[in-house]
Amino acid sequence: MEDGKPVWAPHPADGFQLGMIVDIGADTLTIEPLNQRGKTFLAPMSQVFPAEDDVNKLVDDNCSLMYLNEATLLNNVRVRYNKDHIYTYVANILIAVNPYYDVPKLYGPDTIKSYRGKSLGTLPPHVYAIADKTYRDMKVLKMSQSIIVSGESGAGKTENTKFVLRYLTTTYGSGQDIDERIVEANPLLEAFGNAKTVRNNNSSRFGKFVEIHFNEKNAVVGGFVSHYLLEKSRICTQSNEERNYHIFYRLCAGASEDIKKKLHLDSPDSFRYLNRGCTRYFASKDSDKQIMQSRKSPEHLKVGALKDPLLDDQGDFNRMCGAMKKIGLDDTEKLDLFRVVAGVLHLGNIDFEETGSSSGGCHLKNQCSQTLECCADLLGLDQDDLRVSLTTRVMLTTAGGAKGTVIKVPLKVEQANNARDALAKAVYSRLFDHVVKRVNQCFPFETSSNFIGVLDIAGFEYFEHNSFEQFCINYCNEKLQQFFNERILKEEQELYQREGLGVNEVHYVDNQDCIDLVEAKLVGILDILDEENRLPQASDQHFALVVHSKHKDHFRLTVPRKSKLTIHRNLRDDEGFIVRHFAGAVCYETTRFVEKNNDALHMSLESLVSESKDKFVRELFENSSNTKDSKQKAGKLGFISVGNKFKTQLNLLLEKLRSTGSSFIRCVKPNLKMVSHQFEGALILSQLQCSGMVSVLDLMQGGFPSRAPFHELYNMYKQYMPAKLTRLNPRLFCKALFKALGLNDNDFKFGLTRVFFRPGKFSEFDQIMKSDPDHLAELLEKVNKWLMCSCWKKVQWCSLSVIKLRNKMRYRALACIKIQKTVRMWLCKKKHKPRIDGMVKVQSLKKHMERFNEVVSVLKEGKQEMAKQVQELASSIDALQAKIKTTVMTWKEIDTEYQGLVKRSEQLLSSMQKKKQEEEEGERLKHIEEEMDKERKRREKEEQRRKQEEEDRRLKAEMELKRKQDEGDRKKRDEEEKVIQVELDVQLALEREEQVQRTTIVEQERRDRELAMRIAHSEAELITEEGQLDPSLRSEETFSDLPISSSSARAIGPQVQATKAAAGVKKYDLSKWKYAELRDVINTSCDIELLAACREEFHRRLKVYHAWKSKNKKRDDDGSDQRAPKSITDYAEQNPAPPMTAQHQEVAMNRQQRYFRIPFIRPADQYKDPQNKKKGWWYAHFDGPWIARQMELHPDKQPIVLVSGKDDMEMCELSLEETGLTRKRGAEILPRQFEEIWERCDGIQYLKKAIENKQARPTYATAMLQSLLK
């Protein structure tokens, strides 16, 4: 099958594998892998794709491939990755695969220079090319731009962001210190906001949107950094293999001895906030030796340093210090930052123990006195005040006694630990805000024309234990995925439709329901969480139960016990919930959700740090101190919602993104082990699918990523053109430019209001337009020439049109005269034909009179009498001739008189015979008698022909009458069926919606399982049983096997139910039969019912297979494999045949033989022969409902002869009812006509060979030929 060409079939580990199609199933294909000959497996037809002729060919842009599908996309990314080409385009979108090592010369200064001003596609794919395109778009369109860098954690988003910033500042910077500051700000932000996780050694634990601002001359004038959602819980706790923020380890590893003593630093294992996670440093062999042994933890000394080519704690500390200096931080401010960081570390080492008194409070452990002193000293706090604030809570009474009374409430050990951690998170969070603020101060700007923003935010996250931070991060990624869908898929398609470009519609998964689940007012999870925070006795358990109760029937939310992982199934309903995200299902544990959603400190601690003796620490809390509300001052814990603050920031960010042009960089993680040159196909395929790249491929088959309105192009380039051209309207102006430049029509397309370009072509056009003056003069000459030619062509066209119209009028006048003449002739002929025929007969009779006279002249006796009788007969003939000429006589009247004359002539002849005795006269009379006999026979033949014509006319009249009656009956049936059809359409629409829902659920289940497999350490942790869908979903699947779905059976009428039930009842289940088995049964079976069922299933599979081929056809497909005229296939698509009932099957079993002929022009020949002068013909012989023989006759080509059995793949697979041939007037022909053409095209010999080789299927044609041969 497929002419022996390989296809891509799904593979659990590699994503796809090469194989061959060996059989067609009901909805599956049987595949034989190329690397495992002899073994086969079943694959869903929707997941099998044709492969390129050369599977090892690599292309820069996936849109250049012959087949655009997810398998060829994955293969191209794989081939490029194996050759260290980590970047790939899909139109204007860049796919970046993390190489996990430094690719030589990929980001050097020479590379930066080479990409400046170059269009996409002129050089190999690169992040620099996207950066340069964004800059040129901003410059040309006078519009701010955004680059959205997205991907999973560890996919390389942060590194690609740095490369974009470096390129823009290096290439288009003003050459001042500010360019360097923008680049150097990144190491500082990474030190305070990045950390090692299990999936990424340098994971950004906050989101940032870096704006680079440009002036009117498009030079860099400044920048601004917005940050989102720092992960504060990491400050106090990390998992075993993770670390806290880099700054803690870098300070411990790289600080000078002087700073180390000042800050009382030690090895990471001596601090509580570090020793519960990984305490090893990142270091190379050389830098590891430079770190003093006393600064290394036992774990580091035992196992060794962490290795990463981009990370080195000691070296990064020195680089960070250099970056601080470059962005304007002096030594004092730098020491202030380190002091607060060290203060947070020491704060975490403060321990508490119960007092043992009846008050139930706690106090600091004795061994923590030194730690308390260090912490208080570093943060500028009084030791005693700090001790009291950590162990007690101050309350101000407002009722039931003297107002304003201060009450100190002692805290339990757990409460004190929570207070200590809350203070540490608050201090570090405000320190990070200060770092971002100082970074923004180092590159200020007064005015800005436009900006380029680069968004780098944490990718989609999924762990065994997911908390509030992961929930917010994944909510953000849902919003960004929706933005991507809107900008690339939805808005693009709407624009194409408005502009009339005729690009095919592409379907994608809409995740709006998941976003509403999170952010909807009142019932959204974030609002439910805020309401929980406002309760007097807020609890995580109550919050989880409320979420489940508000969304108990929501598809996107379910309980933990339905997870694919056993570890989540142990959670109770009040301990978490599962959200089905666009990338897969994630189980969130709601423990500490309420605490993490509150960003407010208790008044005791807030007041303590706000009144610090250290100016730097005091300023960190100044803003929050000024905004405290009255409730907080009254001693109650205020509430500042982290979730809603993040939602507001996110919506503002998306508004900003929507107001700018967009470019996308999709970062891909090649493997989970974070090692180089290891390509996990299934993992990457999942990322490509979730990022929407497969949908983009479908859209970009006919897409135009770049566009510009006519008036903008006109305003942009009119300064280069003379006044003569600027007087043109913008559309004609653009058309003149494009034609003069000789641009390929495939590279651009004119819409209603703008012109659209293929990838990279707009920049080439812009480069041509802004080239040197000599070239511009040459271009101007071309434009003038094109305009002159265009005007002359219009004049020519108008003249030719007028001449053509005049000739047409003359031709029509002559044609009318000819029609009139012909009609008049026909009418006269019809009117006078009986008289003319009569005259001809009478004249032939008169000719015989001369011979009568000759006989009379030789008579000896009775000569006068005979002469008189002859004269009377001649007079009667003359009289009849005169009568026919002068009067209107019917054919019967003429024939009566003519017969009388004949009778008289015969009587006269007999009397003359009696009187003529001589032999010579007898012979002459005999000769006359023979001629008379001939005349009689001719008259009989004429009479037979006339009767035959009358019979033919009568049969045609009866056929026409019958056709009209059938047409009337059909109209009546159509009216009756309309009522049923309306109900059926409603039912089918409901079933289609149900099918879409089921497909969405199945796809979501697949993504959920893939995500669970990535989380699971082994297969044993996965839930292996099938059918983990909700009960409601399972019921839908159960009913999907029935002809009528139970959910909507009540909504339809009894007639529709009866129709569908009759169609759905099948005696034979052939879904498990192989394609070859069906063919064998058709060729050999004598069971008529089984034969009919096999034929139906055989052709159904053919239709499904050909639909698969059509969907996955080549981009340059010319329709050379078209199996039937387009009118037939279009009819079948627009009028799907209803399921065959028992009555239809009975008719089909009668095996009527019907023959058809219709015009056929192949798509490839339409352009060669636009006038259809070389029209071909398509012949078909249907044996019952299915085609048995097929012919194609085209001028200048050999005839194509096909027979069923041998040529099933090349023949029409539709049933006779589906083709609509029986409704085409004049399409049906006589068997004799078909057989004549069949014999002329050597069809008999072809069928004979097929029978001898046992390739022909038993049909009426084969039976007739075999009997003829016998």
DSSP string, 188-218: HHHHHHEE--SS-TTEESSEEEEEEEE-TTS
| pLDDT per position as a tens digit, 217-260 | 889 999 999 998 888 889 999 988 899 999 999 999 999 999 99
Q: Which of residues 62 and 371 earns the better pLDDT score?
A: 371
Sheet arrangement for strand 28-33: 41-44, 28-33, 15-24, 7-11, 49-50
The residues, any chain, with a CB within 8 Å of residue 1012's CB and separated by 6 or more, are: 563, 564, 565, 584, 585, 1022
Mean pLDDT on 1070-1074: 76
Torsion of CA 904, 909, 915, 921, to 10 degrees: 160
Average pLDDT over residues 1077-1089: 76
Stretch (H or E) spanning 893: helix 891-915
Q: Are the CB atoms for 473 and 228 separated by under 8 Å?
A: no
Shortest CA distance to 170 belongs to which of 229, 219, 101, 100?
219
Region 494-511: mean pLDDT is 77
Q: What is the pLDDT of residues 580-623, one digit of tens each?
A: 998 889 999 999 899 888 877 877 888 889 889 999 999 988 86
Q: Which amino acid is at 46?
A: S
**Pairing mode of beta strands 15-24, 7-11:** antiparallel
The confidence score (pLDDT) of residue 922 equals 58
Say if residues 1237 and 1179 touch (Cβ distance below 8 Å). Answer: yes
Task: List b or e across 154-191, with b for residues whose CB sees 16 or more CB atoms inside 10 angstroms.
Answer: bbbbbbbbbbbbbbbbbbbbeeeebbbbbbbbbbbbbb
The DSSP code for 1059 is: H
Average pLDDT over residues 880-903: 84
Instruction: Quote the percentage of the chain above a pLDDT of 70.
Output: 85
Which amino acid makes up residue 888?
V
Mean pLDDT of all residues in 1028-1044: 37
pLDDT at 1053 (0 to 100): 47
Per-residue pLDDT, 975: 84
Most confident of 384-398, 678-692, 919-933, 954-968: 678-692
Distance, in Å, from the CA atom of 843 to the CA atom of 232, rounded to the nearest integer, reads 124
Tell me how crowded residue 203 is: count the other CB atoms within 10 A of its CB.
23
Q: What is the mean pLDDT of residues 1196-1217?
A: 87
Q: Write down the residue that tokens 């009527």 correspond to.
A: 1152
Angstrom distance (rounded) from CA 820 to CA 826: 10
pTM (predicted TM-score) = 0.72
By the 8 A CB rule, do 347 and 381 touch? Answer: no
Mean pLDDT score across all residues of the chain:
82
Q: Residue 599: which of 475, 397, 459, 428 has the closest Cα?
A: 428
pLDDT digits (tens, 9 = 90+) for 699-719: 666 667 667 777 777 777 777
Q: What is the pLDDT of residues 549-573, one digit of tens each?
A: 999 889 899 999 888 888 888 899 9
In this predicted structure, the answer to whether residue 769 has a pLDDT above a threshold of 70 is no
- Which residue has better confidence, 767 or 939? 939
CA gap 189, 73 in Å, rounded: 35
pLDDT score recorded for residue 1035: 34
Give the whole-angstrom CA distance, residue 1263 versus residue 327: 93
Does the pLDDT value for residue 46 go beyond 50?
yes
**CA gap 1191, 1180 in Å, rounded:** 6
Contact 508, 485 (CB under 8 A): yes
Window from 449-458, 666-675, 926-935 with minimum mean pLDDT: 926-935
What's the distance, Cα to Cα, between the start and end of the chain in Å? 35
Whole-number pLDDT of residue 1144: 46
Cα gap 804→800, rounded to integer Å: 6
Residue 738 has, within 13 A of its CA and on its CB side, a CA count of 22
| DSSP letters spanning 251-296 | HHHH--HHHHHHHT---GGGSHHHHTS--PPB--HHHHHHS-GGGS
CA–CA separation, 593 vs 389, rounded Å? 24
pLDDT at 405 over 70: no
1033 pLDDT higher than 50: no
Count of alpha carbons within 13 angstroms of residue 448, beta-carbon side: 18
Evaluate if residue 625 carries a pLDDT over 50: no
Q: What is the pLDDT of residue 80?
A: 95
Helix ranges (H only) for 611-729 are: 615-620, 622-626, 630-633, 642-658, 681-690, 693-700, 710-717, 723-726
Higher confidence at residue 1171 or residue 640? Answer: 640
Residue 429: exposure state from Cβ atoms within 10 A (0-12, 13-18, ≥19): middle
Give pLDDT, residue 192.
95
CA dist., res. 491 & res. 508, Å (int): 13
pLDDT band at residue 1027 under the 50/70/90 scheme: very low
Q: Which DSSP symbol is given to 506?
A: -
The answer to whether 11 and 74 have CB atoms below 8 angstroms apart is no
Q: Which of 84-93, 289-298, 400-409, 854-863 has the lowest mean pLDDT?
A: 400-409
104 torsion bin: left (phi>0), alpha (psi -120 to 50), beta (else): beta
pLDDT of residue 1141 exceeding 60, the answer is no
Q: Which of 301-305, 757-761, 1176-1180 is least confident?
A: 757-761
Rounded average pLDDT over 92-120? 90
pLDDT, average across residues 1053-1078: 61
Q: Are 465 and 241 in contact (CB under 8 A)?
A: no
What tokens does 291 get?
């770190």
Closest by Cα among 761, 746, 768 to 120: 761
User: pLDDT-based confidence at 63, cuts 50/70/90?
Assistant: confident
Over residues 996-1002, mean pLDDT: 80
Q: What is the pLDDT of residues 164-221, one digit of tens each?
A: 999 999 998 876 777 788 888 888 999 999 999 888 899 888 889 999 999 998 899 9
pLDDT digits (tens, 9 = 90+) for 773-821: 566 666 667 777 777 887 888 899 899 999 999 999 999 999 999 999 9
Q: What is the pLDDT of residue 679?
A: 94
Phi then psi for residue 295, to 5 deg, are: -90, -5
CB count within 10 Å of CB 207 equals 23
**Which of 2-6, 448-452, 622-626 shows the lowest per-residue confidence on average (mean pLDDT)?**
622-626
Res. 933: pLDDT tops 50? yes
If you average pLDDT over residues 924-936, what whole number do you get? Answer: 83
More confident residue, 111 or 730: 111
- The dihedral through the CA atoms of 1132, 1134, 1136, 1137 has a sign that is negative
In 3D space, the residue among 693, 1109, 1019, 1021 whose CA is nearest the CA of residue 12 turns out to be 1019
Q: Say if residues 563 and 569 touch (Cβ distance below 8 Å).
A: yes
The tens digit of pLDDT for each residue in 629-649 reads 434 443 444 577 889 989 999
pLDDT for position 511? 87
| Ramachandran angles phi, psi of 813, nearest 5° | -65, -45
